[in-house]
Structure 1
C-alpha cells in the first residue's frame, strides 16, 4: 500500500460517479432517510445560531458588562476550548448506544444553557455559562454528521456533505437576521437573541425525537440480541475496540487534528470578529455590518453545496485544494476596499472559498475515519482542532489593538483605527497555506462504503477499516456474513 501522500489526488476512473446517477439516487431516498439528513442539518444549524450569538453581540456585551473587545472574546475562546470535552463524551455515547437519544439530549442541554446565557447578570456568570455551553456544543457536529450521512447511499454523500456543513452558514445567517430585526426592537436587546436561539434548539431536539434510530444501529443491535449479547458484555467489547482503534490509528488521529486545526482557524479567523472588523476598522454601522455578514453567509452556502457536489466527481482532496486556492486569490478583496459593495463582495467570495472547502469535510472525515467510530473520531478531531484554534478571535483582537492605520471617515477626516484588515489578511493567508499542505499529504478514501462495517460495540469494530480501493469489506469473510453485509450496504427505511 502506497503512503497516503503518494496516492493520486483524482479518484481512479472506476471510482468516479460509482453507482446510480445523482438525481436517480436522490429520487430513491425514503422519507426516513430525508428526515435523518435534515434533522442532522438542523442540529448543526442550531449549533451555529447558538455560537454566533456572542460574535454578533460583542458591542452590546461590552456595554452590558463594561468590558473590552478582548475580554468579551474570552467567552468565545472558552466555548471553543471546552468543545473537545463534549465531543469525547457525546461521541462515545453515540457510537456505543446509537444516534437518536444522545443527539436529543445534547440539543436539549444546549437549549437550557443558551437560555441561561440570556439571564446572566455579571461577566463571570456569562463566562461560566459559556464554558458549560462549550461542552454541550462539542457533541453536536459528530452526532449530526453521522446521523445525516450514514443513512444515505454513497452516490449522494458528496452533495449531502456540502449542504450539511453549510447548515453552519445558515445558522450564522439566521442569527444575523434575528440580530438585525428582533434585537433592536426589544428592550432586552442581546438577550432576546439568546432566548430565540434556545427555542430553535429545543425545536430541533423535538424533530429528532420524532424520527427513529439510525437503521445501521437498529440492525447491529438486533444482530447482537440474536447472539445473546448482554449490555455489560457489549460495553466491555466497546471499550476494548476503542483501545484497539487508538492503537492502530493514532497517526491518523494526529493528522485529522492537524487538518481540523487549520480549517477551524480559517473559519473562526474569517467569521468570529467580522462584524467587529467592519464597525471598528471600516467604520460601518451595526446594520451594514450585519447585512455584509448575511451576504458573506450566502456565499458560504453556495460554496459548500457546490464543493460537496464537485467532490463527488473529482474527489475530496482536489476539491478542497481548489477552494483553498480561491481563498488566497480573494484576500485582497476582503481587506483593501472601503465601500460597502466591494467589502460585501469580498465577504461573499472569501466565504465561498472557506466554506466551500469546509463543505467537503464531513464526508472526508467520515470516509477516512475508522468505520465503527464515525461519531467519536470526526467529532473529537473537529473539536480538538477547535480547541487549538480557540484563541483566533483573541489573536485578532490583540493584533488589531497593537496595529493601527489611518482611514478617511464619512466626514472626510482622517481617523486612526485598529488595523483588523491587515491582521485578518495575514492570518487567513498563512492558515490557507497550511491547510493546502496538510490536505495534499493526507489520505482519501473516496467513495468508501463505511455503512457496511461493524459498529463500535461489535467484536472487531476497532480493527475494522476500509482502505482506498477496497471493493468490499466483506470480500474475505464467510459467505453467511458476506450476505448479511450485502444487505447492510444501503440504509433501508425503518
Structure 2
C-alpha cells in the first residue's frame, strides 16, 4: 500500500513540473516554421472545423441569450425555460455516439456535412415553434445533432496538422466556441431588438450559418488519414461488410483495453463542462435578475467575457507547448478561482465585466488545452479520435446538463435584495450560487488534472483508421516505467 501511495505522490508531483512539447522526430521546426509550412488544404480543414464549432456554440447559446424573452413568450419562469438547455445537453451524448462512429468508420467529410445540415434544420425549427412543448421537443432533437459536432470538428481541424502547431491550433480552435457565443451576443444586441420577429431571428440566422459550414466542408477533400486508409482497403480488396466487422471488433477491443481511460475522460469532461456551463448558460439572466442590469448591458458584459475567453484559449494553447498540457490547465483553473469574487461581488458594470473577462479567460484557457489533450495527451486510442473525445465530452455534458437548473433552483432558495425601478426588490441570488458552484468544480478539476495521464507530442496523424485491421492495438506506445506503465500515466492501458 505504501509503495502505491508513494508512486501516486511522485506521479502527482511530476505532473507539476513544466515540460516542453516532446519532439518525436528530428525535424526541429519552430512554431513559426511549422505554421509557414502548412498547405492550403491543411489551412482549409482547420478553418472549416473552426467554423463548425462556431455554429455549435452559436446555436446552443441562442437559448441562453433568449431566456428572458422566452419567459414572456411561453409564460414560464427561468427554471422551466432552462429545461430546454438541460434536454439539449442530455441528448448530445446520443449524437456524439452516432456521428462519432460514423466519422471513424466512413470518414470525416460527409458525416460532418450531414451533421451540420440536421443541426440547421432543428435550429430553424426552433424559431417556428408556437408552444413550450414544441420548443422542448425541437431542442431535444437539436441536441442529438449538436452532439456530433465537437468530435468531428476537432478531428477535421487538428488531425492533419504537424505536432509543432497543434497546441496553439487547439487553443484557437476551442475559442470558436467563444466566438460563436460572441457572435450570438452581438446579433442579440443589434439585430434582435430591431426586427419584428424578435428572438426567433437569432435562431434562423444560426441555421443559415450551419448550412454555410456544411457547404464549405462539402467542397473540401477528405482527411488525408482516410484517403490513405481507403487506398489500403481498395488494394487489399476488402468489402464494406468486412470493414464493418473489423470496425466493430476494434471498437470492442478499444473498450476492453481502455475502459479505465474512458471512465477517467468522462469524469474529467464532467468537471470541465460544469465549469463552462456553470459560468455561461445563465450568465445573462444572472446579470439581469440579480444585478438589475438591462438586457443591453448584460449582453455587452457577455461580449466582454467572450473576448476574455478568446484571449485565454489562444494563449493557453500556445503556453501548453512549453510547460505541458496539464500544468497549463491547472494554472488557468486556479486563475478562475482567484477571480470568482470579482465575478459575483461587485454591483457596477465595469467591475462585473472585468470579472467576466478574467473568469472566462481562465475557463476557456483550460478548455483550449483540453481540445488537444482529449486525444493524444491522455493516450486516447488514435483510431477512435473522433468517437472517443466526442463521446467523453458529451457524456460529461450529460452529467453537467442540469447546471442552469441547479443555479435557478439554488437561486429560488437563496434570495438577495436590490434597488430596481426605485424600489427595493427581493430577487434570486444567482451570484452566490454561481460562486459556490464554480469554486467547488474548479477544485475538482485541479484534482482530476493532477492525477491524470498525459502523452503530449503524439503523432496521432500517423495511425491507422478504426476500420483497418489491428487499428485499436497497433499503436505507438509511450515509454514505460519500471512497473510497465506508460510514463506520465497512473493507469495501466
TM range (shorter): over 0.9
- What is the rounded CA distance, in whole Å, between the counterparts of 2:185 and 2:112 in structure 1? 25
Gaps spanning 5+ residues in structure 2: where? 1-6, 481-493
Distance 1:22 1:131, change over 3 A: same
What is the TM-score with the length of structure 1 in the denominator?
0.92
Alignment equivalent of 2:154, drawn from 142, 145, 151: 145
Matched residue, 2:3: none
Matched residue, 1:15: 22
Is residue 163–residue 459 contact of structure 2 (8 Å, CA) maintained in 1? yes
TM-superposed CA distance for 1:340, in Å, is 0.3
Matched residue, 1:378: 389
Number of paired residues? 469
- What is the rounded CA distance, in whole Å, between the counterparts of 2:477 and 2:361 in structure 1? 31
Deviation by residue 1:77-100 (Cα, 9 ceiling, x = unmatched): 000000000000000000001000
After TM superposition, the structure 1 = structure 2 runs for residues 472-487 of structure 1, keeping only pairs within 5 Å, are none
Is residue 414–residue 429 contact of structure 2 (8 Å, CA) maintained in 1? yes
TM-superposed CA distance for 1:15, in Å, is 2.1
- What is the rounded CA distance, in whole Å, between the counterparts of 2:350 and 2:20 in structure 1? 43
- What is the rounded CA distance, in whole Å, between the counterparts of 2:136 and 2:304 in structure 1? 30
Is residue 87–residue 380 contact of structure 1 (8 Å, CA) maintained in 2? yes
Matched residue, 2:424: 414
TM-superposed CA distance for 1:451, in Å, is 1.2
Q: What is the RMSD of the two structures over their aligned residues, measured on CA atoms?
A: 1.6
Is residue 108–residue 201 contact of structure 1 (8 Å, CA) maintained in 2? yes
Is residue 370–residue 464 contact of structure 1 (8 Å, CA) maintained in 2? no
TM-superposed CA distance for 1:409, in Å, is 3.8
2:296 counterpart of 1:321 = no
Matched residue, 2:485: none
Matched residue, 2:139: 130
- What is the rounded CA distance, in whole Å, between the counterparts of 2:21 and 2:117 in structure 1? 44
Answer with 23-32 or 362-371: which moved more.
362-371
TM-superposed CA distance for 1:21, in Å, is 0.4
- What is the rounded CA distance, in whole Å, between the counterparts of 1:10 and 1:198 in structure 2? 45
Is residue 281–residue 420 contact of structure 1 (8 Å, CA) maintained in 2? yes
* SS of equivalent to 1:406: strand
- What is the rounded CA distance, in whole Å, between the counterparts of 1:61 and 1:361 in structure 2? 33
* SS of equivalent to 1:187: coil
After TM superposition, the structure 1 = structure 2 runs for residues 332-347 of structure 1, keeping only pairs within 5 Å, are 332-347=341-356
Deviation by residue 1:183-206 (Cα, 9 ceiling, x = unmatched): 111111010000000000000001
Distance 1:32 1:282, change over 3 A: same
Any runs of at least 4 consecutive aligned residues in structure 1 with deviations exceeding 6 A, and if so which? none
Is residue 19–residue 324 contact of structure 2 (8 Å, CA) maintained in 1? no
TM-superposed CA distance for 1:229, in Å, is 1.2
Alignment equivalent of 1:460, drawn from 455, 470, 475: 470
2:404 counterpart of 1:397 = no
Alignment equivalent of 1:427, drawn from 437, 443, 449: 437
Matched residue, 1:46: 55
What is the TM-score with the length of structure 2 in the denominator?
0.93
Is residue 445–residue 467 contact of structure 1 (8 Å, CA) maintained in 2? no
TM-superposed CA distance for 1:418, in Å, is 1.0
Matched residue, 1:211: 220
After TM superposition, the structure 1 = structure 2 runs for residues 112-131 of structure 1, keeping only pairs within 5 Å, are 112-131=121-140
TM-superposed CA distance for 1:467, in Å, is 3.8
Is residue 262–residue 435 contact of structure 1 (8 Å, CA) maintained in 2? yes
- What is the rounded CA distance, in whole Å, between the counterparts of 1:453 and 1:399 in structure 2? 47
Answer with 225-234 or 171-180: which moved more.
225-234
TM-superposed CA distance for 1:8, in Å, is 3.8
Is residue 465–residue 471 contact of structure 2 (8 Å, CA) maintained in 1? yes
